[in-house]
Copies of this chain bind each other. A is one copy, B any other.
Amino acid sequence: MNIRLVIQQLGLLLLLLCLALLGVTAWGAIEHFTSQPAAGTSIEREWVGLVAEWVTVGVGLALGGSMWWFARPRDRRPAVLGRREALLLVALGWLLGAAVAGLPYFLWAHLERTAGPNHPFRSFMSCYFEAMSGLTTTGATVLSDIRAVPFGLLLWRATTHWLGGLGIVVLFVAVLPSLGVGGKKLYQIEAPGPAAQGVRPRIRETARVLWLIYLGLTAAQIVLLYLAGMNLGDAVCHTFATLATGGFSTRDASIGYYNSPLINWIIIAFMLLAGANFGLYYQLLRRRFRAVWTDPELRLYLAIVFVGCLIVCGALVEERLVSTTGDDVEPSIAAAIRHGVFQVVSIQTTTGFCTADFDLWGLAPRMTLLFLMFVGASAGSTGGGIKIIRVLIAFKVIVAEVERVFRPNVVRTVKVGRQPVDPELRLGTMVYVLALLLVFAVGTVALMLIEADKGIDVVTALSASAATLNNIGPGLNLVGAMRNYGWFSEPSLAVMSLLMVLGRLELYAVIVMFVPRFWKSE
């Protein structure tokens, strides 16, 4: 394995991440010098956040730069990024990226006097968890008092979502000099879904087209949210969190803070857009409407959302609704529909925004949400979970297998849309789903064992494992809509950080590092 090349590219990736952070500080600085302090925050605190970010940029540039310099190729031959190097680069890129992305939180908590010795960000593991939660677009937070954190850091927190949504490595492929075939390998490892096909023949073009679509959607949502009454900072942060299907909010009550149906519906619409395959938008731009409309994954996606909304809204009409602000919602059918649809779309797309405390809901809607956590969003979207297309393939394979029991001699092809699914993908899909369930079970047991002395209940452990592995954010009970992950011990936060990156990179890129044969030269 060409470790030098991996280290060198890793250095470049860090440099890129630091540039993004530097960009974020620009706005923080403007905020510092111009704004009035918002409620609960002070201009001085904003300044401490800026310092923390600048120190991180310095550290990151030094580290990334030296990695890039010392690991530069010794000879002039073009470096070849093989499959194993690509896997290692992606996995290490995420693991190391989260460490750098979490550093500003850690520095801030140690520089800021008012943060106090019990502030979650005093522990580096908590900061790492928060940064990993950001980059993997999970949206699980350790913070209980979000408004005490300066705007500059909240903007960075939202930006980690936005960068991680389409993939930090895909961004890297899009903007940096081509790695030849290597870029395609990187793209395939990081892009969600079983068969990541490029929308354009050349992978750099694909990455660029996807980022342009992403930028367009981002601009559109920011404008709409601003027009609907959000201030610009919140509009940007929530847009980043929506389109990446992340879920970090700048408010303790999440979207529930804005008691505005218009804002809710705008976010619902953009969550739905973010949970669909981005390749479809490229098809739309090229006016291939028929291809979009007949896409089997899109149809199933909308159908599942629709059925989920029916079940949940139906159950909510009769029920007492409590907003995430803690206030009772005026009972009406419109409110039941709005809050029901919001929560279903938020969980299904693995965003994790909340407007209502769904932990108070009945068993049927809560079970529906737990089920949707595993289904997840579409392949090629920014969302997590098993992915709709895999659920579809797995279902069809199971049906075919049941039919084989009573008609063993009929040769059957499993089709998705008009495309036959080849046997390798059939097996691969079943293996993936089973492996994900195994990781989920292991994660649950690990959390229960680590937190045994706190007497963590099964529902909390199950849903924390599911919500981090599937990159959702909130779970049930002690990690529910009104709670956070700050009370977990450091080993649990480490386990869940691992679950998040396992889920985001679809298991294999991380798992292979534990296989001895991966490290042996061929």
Contact = CB atoms under 8 A, between A and B. Distances in A.
A90 to B, nearest CB: 11
Interface in A219-259: none
Contacts of A262: none
Name which of A87, A431, A452 has the most chain B CB atoms within 10 A of its CB: A431
A459 B461 CA distance: 12
Contacts of A367: 445, 448-449
A364 B406 contact: no
B423 A427 contact: yes
Contacts of A70: none
Interface string A150-166: 00000000000000000
A4 interface: no
Interface stretch (A61-69, A481-489, A511-519): A511-519
A403 interface: yes
Interface in A392-436: 394, 397-399, 401-403, 405-408, 423, 426-428, 430-431, 433-435
Nearest to A83: B406
Interface in A360-404: 362-364, 367, 394, 397-399, 401-403
Nearest to A445: B367
Contacts of A398: 431, 434-435
A142 interface: no
A437 interface: yes
Interface in A489-522: 508-509, 511-512, 515, 517-518, 522
A127 interface: no
Contacts of A428: 401
Contacts of A437: 434, 437
A91 B352 CA distance: 44
Contact of A363 (B87, B435, B449): B449
Nearest to A431: B401
A517 B412 CA distance: 14
Contacts of A399: 515
A358 B402 CA distance: 37
The A interface is mostly helix, strand or loop, or mixed, namely helix
A364 B427 contact: no
B458 A462 contact: yes
A208 interface: no
A403 to B, nearest CB: 7
A434 B433 contact: yes
**Interface size range on A against B:** 35 or more
A505 B515 CA distance: 36
Nearest to A522: B407
A518 B406 contact: yes
Interface in A271-316: none
Given A83-B408, A508-B402, A515-B402, A434 B427 contact: no
A122 interface: no
A508 B405 contact: yes
A449 B406 contact: no
Interface in A333-370: 362-364, 367
A518 B83 CA distance: 46
A84 interface: yes
Contact of A397 (B364, B427, B452, B458): B427
Contacts of A407: 83, 522
A427 B449 CA distance: 33
A62 to B, nearest CB: 32
B423 A512 contact: no
Contacts of A401: 427-428, 431, 435
A214 B403 CA distance: 33
B518 A394 contact: no
A518 B427 CA distance: 25
Given A362-B452, A458-B462, 17 more contacts: A83-B406, A363-B452, A367-B448, A398-B434, A398-B435, A401-B427, A401-B428, A401-B431, A402-B515, A405-B509, A406-B512, A426-B427, A427-B427, A430-B431, A437-B437, A457-B458, A458-B459
22 contacts: A83-B406, A83-B408, A362-B452, A363-B449, A363-B452, A367-B445, A367-B448, A367-B449, A397-B427, A398-B431, A401-B427, A401-B428, A401-B431, A402-B511, A405-B509, A405-B512, A407-B522, A423-B427, A426-B427, A427-B427, A458-B458, A458-B462
Interchain residue pairs A-B with the least CB separation, the first 5? A430-B430, A405-B508, A401-B431, A458-B458, A84-B406
Interface of A: 83-84, 87, 362-364, 367, 394, 397-399, 401-403, 405-408, 423, 426-428, 430-431, 433-435, 437, 445, 448-449, 452, 457-459, 462, 508-509, 511-512, 515, 517-518, 522
